[in-house]
Amino acid sequence: MLTLLRELADYEKLLDKFFIDEEVIRRDYLSTQPLCNADLAFEGDAPVGIASWYWKYASFAAKRVIYLEDLFVRPAFRGKGYGKTLLAHLAKTAVDEGGGIVDWSVLDWNKPSIDFYDSLGARPVEGWLVYRLEGDAAKALARG
């Protein structure tokens, strides 16, 4: 898991924001009450892809929603259906739990991923922008 997530951070040019280590994996993914989930794809014994995700709630729709935090398939294994299989598994999980919704974000420059998502019938959520409060701004707001 750690290696795949690191490779994703490198692909997305976000290694400067990558702070995950083995302890974080144990604490946040593998504990008795994990904060998030991870599904892995293998070709034989070789790990080739990962989907990390967690549940959120759409209050107006009154439905559980899966938020896909990370989806990554190693470049040598792309085009073999691993990404589609990982997303299909998440869609089935969401449908089986009564939600039927899977949300995620994609970097605006990542055309191969955007094209892949479009090919599955996924669409951008119109009218919404993703915001983040972090760092000094979060600390300042927390202080009041």
- Residues involved in catalysis: 117
- Strand order in 102-104's β-sheet? 37-43, 46-58, 63-73, 102-104
Q: How far apart are CA 136 and CA 113, in angstroms?
A: 32
Q: How far apart are CA 126 and CA 95, in angstroms?
A: 23
Sign of the dihedral defined by the CA atoms of residues 93, 88, 38, 66, in that order: negative
Q: How far apart are CA 96 and CA 111, in angstroms?
A: 31
8: CB partners within 8 A, 6+ apart: 50, 70, 72
| Amino acid found at 118 | D
